[in-house]
Structure 1
Amino acid sequence: MEQHPPPNEAEAPDAAGQGHPASDREGRRSLLDARRPAWRERLSSLSRRAEALPARPDDIDIALTSIGDPEAGDPALLAALREAVLARLSGYGTPEAALAAAVEDLPKGSTGEPTLEAVGHCAALVAEAFAMPALQADAFTWRATDAERRRRGERRAATRLARETRAEEERRLKEWESSLVGADALPSLLGCTRHEADRWLRAGIIPVARRVAVRRAGRTVQEPEFDPAALESLRGEIAAWRRADSGERPVEAPPGVGAAPGEARGETRRISNAAVARIAGLDRYAAHFATARALDRRIIACLGPTNSGKTYFGLSRLAEAESGLALGPLRLLAHEYREALEARGVPTSLSTGEERIRVPGSRHTAATVEMCPFTNPVDVAVIDEIQMLADPERGAAWTAALMGVPARQVIVLGAPDAAPMIRRIAQLCGDPLEEVRLERMGPLSAAPVPVPLAEIGRGDAVIAFSRREVFALRAELLRRGRTVAVVYGALGPTVRRAEARRFREGEAEVLVATDAIGMGLNIGPLRRVVFSALTKYDGKEDRPLTVQEIKQIGGRAGRFGGEHAEGIVAVLERGGDPRDIARALKAAPTAPEDLRPPVAPDAEIVAAVAAEMGTDSLFGTLRRIERAVLRRDDPNYRLGDLSTQMAIAAAVDGVRELSLMDRWTYAMCPVDERDEGIARLSDWAVEHSLGMAVPPPKAGRLPAPDRAGQDALQLAERVHRRLVAWRWMALRFPDTYRDIEGALAESRRLNEWIEAVLSALPSGRARAVSAGGDMPARRRGGAPGRFRSNGLARAGAKNGGQRPGPPAKG
């Protein structure tokens, strides 16, 4: 006989809304939970094969929660995924923004871009998401496809022209270099004796096209080479030179030495490296800053280790001045300088690559070093982190700031290692130099033994060297009951400061960070700095930490007069030998191997060289500057790294509707090269040239912070970095990059969401974030990562996953 449940065991609706006994409902839920991992794999495969479905991993997660049939097949799975994608697209605000994001999410074909048919299907999907009527949807789809077709045509034309231009510039340079002759050819080309040629060469009146390194008698010497065309044009001067030799009149070098006179300006002229170098003037770089040279400048170098009071010294002098400038390496530090000065009652404006705050009546400005103004004199300028002079990618910006800042008193702050380069620059500028040495205000010692992870506690900062390892450490510490704040390079300044505040105010017991904390950032008193390892992958190889890195980062431990007066520097178990830390902390300052300050061309120099060459090719101009402006043995300067600028120039050189100087501006934009940043910048340049508005990047709908996976967090970080580049461009081309309010709103939204994810305790899908995701550690290039025996993965991303050069510009 059939048994009926009592009233209190009445049927309850299951996930699909149908009535079943409670026990059946629980069994059904268990079955759904058991099926979802396999469904996730299946949906991932189906979404990759669905050419016109712009699905993301979080769309798959949402689709899975909506499926209530344990027997659901592929059609039901795809239908659920499609609904999740539609819901996300509707959250972008406008169909145009949704379409831009959707096309970026489409699978890329062999050409590296989705088919036009897929773009059309995607546009129809966006029209459906925004509930457009049929006629409006058809029109939107047609316009989207047609606009994409036009963009691709322009993009391909620009790419082809850039490629042809690069090849032509390389061919011309190679052809010119192959035509050069040695000193043995001078007598026949000039119609003189070898003795006369040697004498005129020593007098500097025979133009040298370039110098090449050759081995002579076991040593390397610089041999001159000459342009036959330039020499032929000088044959008419020989008689005057001989009369001068006999004492009739002095000889002057012919005007335009090194150039081939009479060549048409319609094509790139064959000019010598000497002429390029003369026009660029980088061997006379200090003279390039006319305002600074006109002032009676005095440099004060306040040098000392971390926690020695350098910043207090500099900002105190700055606050007392009638007018002043504070320059630092990061936008975050510029904000901190401004806040410190405002707290002292000094109205201060802000100037960074992507942000301006104008304070009416202020005579002080806090800025990033790349934004140093070179024409408006001030009483005092403070330049922080002066040891960055030796940085291979950004050092040239510090050279320009120190040589060119128009201040009567220039105060530089940094590590003692920078002293020799500061002296060299002061000498080149002819400025008097005063050195002030500060000592650390509290003791700093190395822990004698490694620290087990179980002993990490309140007030400790654990230093890792990749984003992945930060999250692996965070997950393990959370599992052990600690509360954790994190700081790494991919985080924007707002989130970094929020995480530092959580640690500083005690909301988080432990800080886990990359070496991004070594520069500025008010993180409060630290009991210990504990390195996860004493080696790091620097983008090329695993190498030991330098003495300066250990001092700079480890020196954040301890705070004079604070809760932790004595700082302790340690290493985790199996991370290295504590004696290496002790030796580094006791080591004397070490000067850089090359004391010549790095220099780089600015817009004025690029324009002058291009005009002299008679070229409209930015790549050709930079290539020639790279080859010509400074001899490798120049006694005073060395050329800074131009690789990123040249890569961008090669990509945008075909967009000839933009002027050479506009393309140079694009070349200076901070981009993340690992996120296809140069290709994206080139697309923006094409849209700019077509007179189109370039919309700001958007992330679209994001999952709830406590359910965010690793993919969603990394997407938010990527879009935030893209917004940094977009806002940088918006300050320079406001008529093209128009929606600044939309960009600011999206930046704020992403900052708030990322901070909510990082501060949330791990639960549900959030565990995937705290554990760094499920993917195995990989180095750049795909090589397997190395796992230490303490079980924590080390990845191969330099500086916590963020490139330290152009993305940090200004």
Structure 2
Amino acid sequence: MTLTTEKRIELTEKLRPVFIQHGREARVEHVSFFLDLNPEQQEAVKKILKKFRSGSHTPDSLLEEYHRWKDGAGVPKIQPAAPKTFIKSVNRAASQSLKQAHRNVPEDLKKEQAKAEKREKKAAQKRQKNALEIALIAALRENREFSDYKDVFFAARGKQRKLIAFLGPTNSGKTHAAMEALRTAHSGVYLGPLRLMALENYDRLREKGVKAGLLTGEERVDLAEATHVCQTIETADFNQNYEVAVIDEIQLLTDKDRGGYWLNAVIGIAADVVYLCGAPIVENILRDLAELTGDEIEIIYTQRMSPLVFAEHKEDPKKLPEAGTAFICFSRKNVLLWKDMLEGAGANVSVVYGALSPEVRKEQSRRFRDGETDYLVATDAVGMGLNLPIHKILFTETEKFDGEGFRRLAPQEVKQIGGRAGRYGIASEAGIITSYDAKDLHFLRQRYTAPEPDVGLTDVHMKPTAAHIRKICESFNNHSLDFALRKFQKIGHEIFSVDISEETLIVAEKMDRIFGTDASSLSVRWFFSIAPADPKNEDAFGYFLDLAIGYKKVLEKEKNTVDLRIFEDPGARLEYAESQRKNLTVYLWFANKKPEIFQEKEKAQELAAFYDGLINKLLAGNKRVTRKKTIGLPLSFCTECKAMMPPFSQFSVCRDCHAQRR
């Protein structure tokens, strides 16, 4: 039997003040109590109301708990109590709750006031912290490591240097002229962006009788008696004095990821004469840097020594182009697809892309140079350091993924890559730039003739040094490397651009986790942060982190060395072989820096040679069924705009047309 409507209304009125206090409307259905409650259940209802008065219950949760008891969940069944007993208990409970609510009003106000004071105190602390941070950042900007960045390089500032810039298009003899000056000097250094370029110039100097050494992240060759050193720009020594220095591909000053190394080299290399070789786009930057450092500068403009023309018509996909053509793609995947397609048409192909080691690139280039292969399929890696007998550059696509999204090629990229056709002294005829797509051919011609954008010192990307990181950590009393790098980006520089890549921050965060954030481990974490880690490659980055964990165990005396943990696998597939070769590059980098801890250098070098050979074998033997060359290539084109599609595409429209449909 349930309460009558009159009784329910009466109880509703008694509980109304409690509901109003909690901002709720009191309705009859809120007190749909049953009469069949035993004394134990009645006691439970009293406890629930007590919780409600103390504020630990809301009307909704009260009803929910009440109904659990009402339904007898977990409560033994007892004979129902008399209706009048229950009504009296509820009335008494409701009356008590109303009185208690009135007594609690001042207490609630006190609680609200206390909460408001606490919030205000927290906000004041935050404002004070922000003000302190702003003051510290302002102070750091005035610090010499930040404000007078050029003065950090003591050896260079102690010299009156002369900068000579050879600026011009590809195939205009820039690097050749600079290397001749380097060859005749008593001492010198060559700094380039790729290990392959350092290796080629090392070989060139050795052939001419110069005591040259090679220094890269992986190797140190003939350095003991060397008067000249060819090295990658990341390994530059700013304390050594030279007569002549050559800095190649100087236009990379504006590169977001690596430009800081070129900035350091230009303002910090201690040579009497510094030759700067590259594209004219950075002329104003070089003049401004010379004014900043107080060095004399001379600009020498060079002209292309062999003609370069654009094809009058697009390429015919029904027949293969002449031998000596380089097909340009912008991803490893597309390189291998075009390789398969060309080999399926009966051609012999060499390939060059970023994931390949310098030794593999060199061997692939040799096969193309010696005529063992008809065609070269390459990424934009061919735009630097490879002098090959390329007659025609054929762009298979005109957009690339830059880490954030797809974009069209910039004028400088078209010039740098297209200029590899018709190399002076190698290819006898004019170089040709072409495409299978008429629209792409028109775009390439426009980009090649387009004026270069204006760039200045704000487009030069400054990199943090160990001194920067240490100063930030000491100033903020926070030795997290991730924290220091983020603050470095916030501090910025009044002249140069400061950008910390997401990959760098990922490495820093991982190093903080592995080594902790004590001041004592900061130098170790910084050491690992400048290693050649690749967070985008899951396998390679996993191996890198394993080396870091092994290094920590050595520091904690759990072991004496960091194990190599790489083995020969003759049956490895191409992707796995490339991954292992990349891991060996990382290990060799550490072995050159810390040979007492990374002791398996010789084994790593043997494994590197093994995987180089295996990769070359896999690239040479990965052919489809040979067909006649006359059938051409099975290219497909967009059914709407007629643009060329990627090889073996499963779609009928291109990406642009698909986006317009959506």
The answer (yes or no) to whether the contact 2:172–2:302 under 8 Å persists in 1 is: yes
The residue number in structure 1 matching 2:311 is 447
Question: Structure 1 pair 642/586, CA: closer, same or farther in 2 (3 Å)?
Answer: closer
Shift of residue 617 of structure 1? 2.3
**Stretches of structure 1 lacking an aligned partner (at least 5 in a row):** 1-173, 183-207, 211-257, 259-271, 768-785, 796-810
For residue 517 of structure 1, what is the amino acid of its counterpart?
Answer: V
The residue number in structure 1 matching 2:498 is 639
For residue 559 of structure 1, what is the amino acid of its counterpart?
Answer: R
Q: Distance in 1 between matches of 2:567 and 2:353?
A: 20
The residue number in structure 2 matching 1:663 is 525
The answer (yes or no) to whether the contact 1:280–1:605 under 8 Å persists in 2 is: no
Q: Distance in 2 between matches of 1:530 and 1:794?
A: 23
Question: Structure 1 pair 596/282, CA: closer, same or farther in 2 (3 Å)?
Answer: farther
Q: Distance in 1 between matches of 2:330 and 2:649?
A: 10
For residue 336 of structure 1, what is the amino acid of its counterpart?
Answer: E
Tell me, what secondary structure is at the counterpart of 2:148? helix
Tell me, what secondary structure is at the counterpart of 2:536? helix
Question: Structure 1 pair 475/455, CA: closer, same or farther in 2 (3 Å)?
Answer: same
The residue number in structure 2 matching 1:62 is none
Provide, for residues 536-571 of structure 1, a one-character-per-residue CA deviation record: whole Å limited to 9, x for no partner.
222322221111111000000002244433110011
Tell me, what secondary structure is at the counterpart of 2:166? strand
| Aligned counterpart for 1:681 among listed residues 544, 555, 561 | 544
Structure of greater relative contact order (alpha carbons < 8 Å, 6+ residues apart): 1
Q: Distance in 1 between matches of 2:408 and 2:477?
A: 48
The answer (yes or no) to whether the contact 1:295–1:408 under 8 Å persists in 2 is: yes
For residue 644 of structure 1, what is the amino acid of its counterpart?
Answer: E
Q: Distance in 1 between matches of 2:650 and 2:373?
A: 24
Q: Distance in 1 between matches of 2:246 and 2:330?
A: 30
For residue 598 of structure 1, what is the amino acid of its counterpart?
Answer: H
Q: Distance in 1 between matches of 2:385 and 2:427?
A: 20
The residue number in structure 1 matching 2:156 is 292
The reply on whether 1:179 has 2:128 as its aligned counterpart is yes
| Aligned counterpart for 1:361 among listed residues 218, 225, 235 | 225
Question: Structure 1 pair 175/381, CA: closer, same or farther in 2 (3 Å)?
Answer: farther
Tell me, what secondary structure is at the counterpart of 2:215? strand
Q: Distance in 2 between matches of 1:469 and 1:744?
A: 30
| Aligned counterpart for 1:401 among listed residues 260, 265, 275 | 265
Q: Percent identity?
A: 32
The answer (yes or no) to whether the contact 1:300–1:410 under 8 Å persists in 2 is: yes
Q: Which moved more, 1:750-759 or 1:723-732?
A: 723-732
The answer (yes or no) to whether the contact 2:397–2:440 under 8 Å persists in 1 is: no
For residue 516 of structure 1, what is the amino acid of its counterpart?
Answer: A
The reply on whether 1:672 has 2:534 as its aligned counterpart is yes
Q: How does 1:674-713 map to 2 (within 5 A)?
A: 674-676=536-538, 677-691=540-554, 692=559, 693-698=561-566, 700-703=568-571, 712-713=573-574
| Aligned counterpart for 2:330 among listed residues 465, 468, 481 | 465
The reply on whether 1:511 has 2:376 as its aligned counterpart is yes
Tell me, what secondary structure is at the counterpart of 1:564? coil
Q: Which moved more, 1:748-757 or 1:558-567?
A: 558-567
Q: Distance in 1 between matches of 2:196 and 2:649?
A: 29
Bigger Rg over Cα? 2
The residue number in structure 1 matching 2:350 is 485
The residue number in structure 2 matching 1:625 is 488
Question: Structure 1 pair 746/685, CA: closer, same or farther in 2 (3 Å)?
Answer: same
Q: Which moved more, 1:582-591 or 1:716-725?
A: 582-591
For residue 639 of structure 1, what is the amino acid of its counterpart?
Answer: V
Provide, for residues 269-292 of structure 1, a one-character-per-residue CA deviation record: whole Å limited to 9, x for no partner.
xxx112233346223211111110
The answer (yes or no) to whether the contact 2:324–2:392 under 8 Å persists in 1 is: yes
Shift of residue 308 of structure 1? 0.4
The answer (yes or no) to whether the contact 2:568–2:610 under 8 Å persists in 1 is: no
Shift of residue 175 of structure 1? 9.2
The residue number in structure 2 matching 1:537 is 401
Question: Structure 1 pair 275/678, CA: closer, same or farther in 2 (3 Å)?
Answer: farther
Q: Distance in 2 between matches of 1:287 and 1:497?
A: 39
Question: Structure 1 pair 399/593, CA: closer, same or farther in 2 (3 Å)?
Answer: closer
Question: Structure 1 pair 665/359, CA: closer, same or farther in 2 (3 Å)?
Answer: closer
Tell me, what secondary structure is at the counterpart of 2:157? helix
Shift of residue 594 of structure 1? 6.1
Tell me, what secondary structure is at the counterpart of 1:694? coil
The answer (yes or no) to whether the contact 1:280–1:601 under 8 Å persists in 2 is: no
The answer (yes or no) to whether the contact 1:651–1:678 under 8 Å persists in 2 is: no
Question: Structure 1 pair 741/787, CA: closer, same or farther in 2 (3 Å)?
Answer: farther
| Aligned counterpart for 1:597 among listed residues 457, 460, 463 | 460
The residue number in structure 2 matching 1:739 is 600
Tell me, what secondary structure is at the counterpart of 1:756? helix
The answer (yes or no) to whether the contact 1:487–1:513 under 8 Å persists in 2 is: yes
For residue 381 of structure 1, what is the amino acid of its counterpart?
Answer: A
Q: How does 1:137-152 map to 2 (within 5 A)?
A: none
The residue number in structure 1 matching 2:616 is 755
Q: Distance in 2 between matches of 1:358 and 1:350?
A: 7
Q: How does 1:91-490 map to 2 (within 5 A)?
A: 178-179=127-128, 210=134, 258=135, 272-279=136-143, 281-453=145-317, 454-490=319-355
The residue number in structure 1 matching 2:580 is 719
Shift of residue 792 of structure 1? 4.4
Q: Distance in 2 between matches of 1:550 and 1:412?
A: 21
Shift of residue 592 of structure 1? 3.0
Shift of residue 591 of structure 1? 3.1
The residue number in structure 2 matching 1:159 is none
Provide, for residues 195-250 of structure 1, a one-character-per-residue CA deviation record: whole Å limited to 9, x for no partner.
xxxxxxxxxxxxx953xxxxxxxxxxxxxxxxxxxxxxxxxxxxxxxxxxxxxxxx
The answer (yes or no) to whether the contact 1:277–1:625 under 8 Å persists in 2 is: no
The answer (yes or no) to whether the contact 2:309–2:433 under 8 Å persists in 1 is: yes
Question: Structure 1 pair 697/792, CA: closer, same or farther in 2 (3 Å)?
Answer: farther
For residue 451 of structure 2, what is the amino acid of its counterpart?
Answer: A
Shift of residue 642 of structure 1? 4.6
Q: How does 1:15-26 map to 2 (within 5 A)?
A: none
Shift of residue 600 of structure 1? 1.6
The answer (yes or no) to whether the contact 1:303–1:436 under 8 Å persists in 2 is: yes
For residue 273 of structure 1, what is the amino acid of its counterpart?
Answer: I
Q: Which moved more, 1:343-352 or 1:730-739?
A: 730-739
The reply on whether 1:499 has 2:364 as its aligned counterpart is yes
Provide, for residues 735-794 of structure 1, a one-character-per-residue CA deviation record: whole Å limited to 9, x for no partner.
322111111111110000000111226269x99xxxxxxxxxxxxxxxxxx995464459
Question: Structure 1 pair 451/329, CA: closer, same or farther in 2 (3 Å)?
Answer: same
Question: Structure 1 pair 662/348, CA: closer, same or farther in 2 (3 Å)?
Answer: same
Provide, for residues 302-345 of structure 1, a one-character-per-residue CA deviation record: whole Å limited to 9, x for no partner.
01101000111110010111110100001111111111111221
Q: Distance in 1 between matches of 2:605 and 2:321?
A: 38
The answer (yes or no) to whether the contact 1:528–1:557 under 8 Å persists in 2 is: yes
Shift of residue 689 of structure 1? 1.6
Question: Structure 1 pair 433/564, CA: closer, same or farther in 2 (3 Å)?
Answer: same
Q: Distance in 2 between matches of 1:490 and 1:335?
A: 17
The answer (yes or no) to whether the contact 1:618–1:649 under 8 Å persists in 2 is: yes
Shift of residue 699 of structure 1? 5.0
Number of aligned residue pairs: 505
Shift of residue 510 of structure 1? 0.6
Question: Structure 1 pair 752/680, CA: closer, same or farther in 2 (3 Å)?
Answer: closer
Q: Distance in 1 between matches of 2:427 and 2:498?
A: 46
The answer (yes or no) to whether the contact 2:489–2:499 under 8 Å persists in 1 is: no
